[in-house]
Amino acid sequence: MSAASAVVRGLGGALPRKVVTNEHLSAVMDTSDEWIRRRTGIAERRHSDETESTSVLATMAGRRALASAGVDSAGLLIVATSTPDKVCPATAPKVAANLGLKGIAAFDVSAVCSGFVYALTTATWAIRSGSVDSALVIGADTFTRLLDPTDRTTSVIFGDGAGAAYLSAGTAEEPGAIKASTLHSDGEGETLIQVPEGPGSFFEMQGKEVFTQAVAAMSDSVETVLASAGWAAGDVDSLIAHQANLRILNTVASVTGIPASKAEVHLDRVGNTSAASIPLAMTDAGTKGHRSPGDKVVLTAFGGGTTWGAVAMTWPSISVVDPH
Ligand code: UT7
C-alpha cells in the first residue's frame, strides 16, 4: 500500500576538525578577509584530513540523524556526493555497513550541489510508493580534495562536511512532512561547474554565469513548490537555500518575495559544502532553536550538471546535536 507522505523525523551533521579562516587563505593566496566576506559572506570553512573521508563524515552525520529520530535502522540509504571515496564502488554501501545496516538498498546520487534535494526527493518517492517505509538520506562532500590550492576563485568558497535526514512514512499533517518537490537539469551547462577530463585536473567553476543561473533556477523552483504546496511567499518561515554565496541567498529571497530575514545563513562558518550544504544548514537551524514544529520550510539548490530543484516541507518535531 502506498504511504500518504514521507516525514522527516531526524537530522544530523558532521564537520571535519580543521578550521580554515579567511586569514589563513590570505596568507597563501592573493585574497583578503574583506573581499571574501563582502563578495560571499564566508568567514571560515572546514578542511578534511586523510582520516576524514566522505564516507567517514557521511557515517557520522547518518548516525546522528538516526539518533535524532530515536531509531537504529532504515529501509534505504542514499548518499548524495560528487566526491565519493572511490570512483567505483559507490560510497553508500560502505556507509550502510558502517551504520550496521548491511543488506539494505544503498546507492549514491551524483548531482553536485543539488545532490541532497535530489536524494531527498528520491527517498520521498520510494516511501510514498510503499516500496520502503523509511530512508536515511545523506549529503556528504569533501570538495577541498579536488581544488587547486592556489586558485583563489574556488578555494575561498568550498569546505567539507556531511548532513543527513531520516524519513519515514506518515501523514501530510505531521510536522516534518514533505509537501512538494521539483527537480530539473540542463546538460548544456555541463562545463559551468566541472572537473575536466584528464589526469591532475582540478575543479573549475564559471562563477559569474553560475551566479546568474543559480538565482533564476532556484527562484523558479521555489515558486513551483510554493504553488504545489498552496503556500504564498509570505507564509514561508524558513528558506534553506544551498549555501554558496550570501548574495545569492538574498537575491533568491528578493525575487521570490520571501523576506531576506527568513533565509537561513550557515555559510559564514562552513562555506559551500556542496551536497552537505542544505542538511547542514537545517541542522544548524535546529541547534540554534530557530524553528518550531510545523513551520513552513522551503529548501532549494543549484549545482553542476547543471541541476536544480526545491522541496517544500514542514519543520519536524526533533532535537539536533550541534556538529560544530
Ligand atoms: O555550488 C554551486 C553553485 N555555485 C555558486 O553558486 C557560486 C556562484 N558564484 C559566486 O558565488 C561568485 O561568482 C564568486 C564568489 C565565485 C565570485 O564573485 P564575483 O563577484 O562574481 O567575482 P568575479 O569573479 O567577477 O571577480 C571580481 C574581481 C575580479 O577582479 P577584476 O577582474 O575586477 O580586477 C577577480 O579577479 O575579484 C577578483 N577575485 C578575487 N579577489 C580577491 C576573484 N576571486 C577573488 C578572491 N580574492 N578570492
Which residue puts its alpha carbon closest to atom 3 of ligand 1? Answer: 303
Contact between residue 202 and residue 35 where contact means Cβ atoms under 8 Å apart: no
Residue ranges and CATH numbers for the domains of the chain are 5-170 (3.40.47.10), 178-314 (3.40.47.10)
Question: Is-above-0.85 flag for pTM?
Answer: yes
Whether 242 sits among the annotated catalytic residues: the reply is yes
150 CA to centre of ligand 1 in angstroms: 15
- Catalytic residue among 47, 245, 266, 272, which? 272
| Tens digits of residue pLDDT in 77-135 | 999 999 999 999 999 999 999 999 999 999 999 999 999 999 999 999 999 999 999 99
302 close to ligand 1 (CB < 6 Angstrom): yes
319 CA to centre of ligand 1 in angstroms: 37
Instruction: Give the C-alpha separation, 231 to 215, whole Å.
Output: 20
| Tens digits of residue pLDDT in 260-310 | 999 999 999 999 999 999 999 999 999 998 899 999 999 999 999 999 999
Contact between residue 301 and residue 242 where contact means Cβ atoms under 8 Å apart: yes
Residue 1 has pLDDT above 80, yes or no: no
Contact between residue 49 and residue 43 where contact means Cβ atoms under 8 Å apart: no
Q: Which three cell numbers stand for residue 73?
A: 535502522
Which residue puts its alpha carbon closest to atom 8 of ligand 1? Answer: 211
pLDDT interval class at 66 (50, 70, 90)? very high
Which residue puts its alpha carbon closest to atom 39 of ligand 1? Answer: 153
**pLDDT, position 198:** 87
Computed over every residue of the chain, the mean pLDDT equals 97
| Tens digits of residue pLDDT in 221-251 | 999 999 999 999 999 999 999 999 999 999 9
Instruction: Give the C-alpha separation, 212 to 214, whole Å.
Output: 6
Residue 156 has pLDDT above 90, yes or no: yes
Contact between residue 41 and residue 268 where contact means Cβ atoms under 8 Å apart: yes
**pLDDT, position 2:** 65
Instruction: Report the atom number in ligand 1 closest to the C-alpha of 152.
Output: 48
**pLDDT, position 228:** 98
Contact between residue 15 and residue 322 where contact means Cβ atoms under 8 Å apart: no
Among residues 244, 288, 294, 235, which one has the least CA distance to residue 267? 244
- Over range 16-44, report the average pLDDT: 98
Instruction: Report the atom number in ligand 1 closest to the C-alpha of 158.
Output: 1
- Catalytic residue among 22, 242, 245, 266, which? 242
113 close to ligand 1 (CB < 6 Angstrom): yes
- Catalytic residue among 22, 47, 113, 266, which? 113
Better-scored residue on pLDDT, 200 or 276: 276
Residue 170 has pLDDT above 70, yes or no: yes
**pLDDT, position 10:** 98
Our mutation pick for probing the ligand 1 site, out of 20, 24, 153, counting the most ligand atoms within 8 A of Cβ, is 153
Q: What ranges make up the beta strands (E) of 111-209?
A: 134-141, 161-170, 178-185, 193-194, 204-205
Sign of CA dihedral 161, 210, 300, 166: negative
Residue 179 has pLDDT above 80, yes or no: yes
Instruction: Give the C-alpha separation, 77 to 147, whole Å.
Output: 28
207 close to ligand 1 (CB < 6 Angstrom): yes
- Over range 33-43, report the average pLDDT: 98
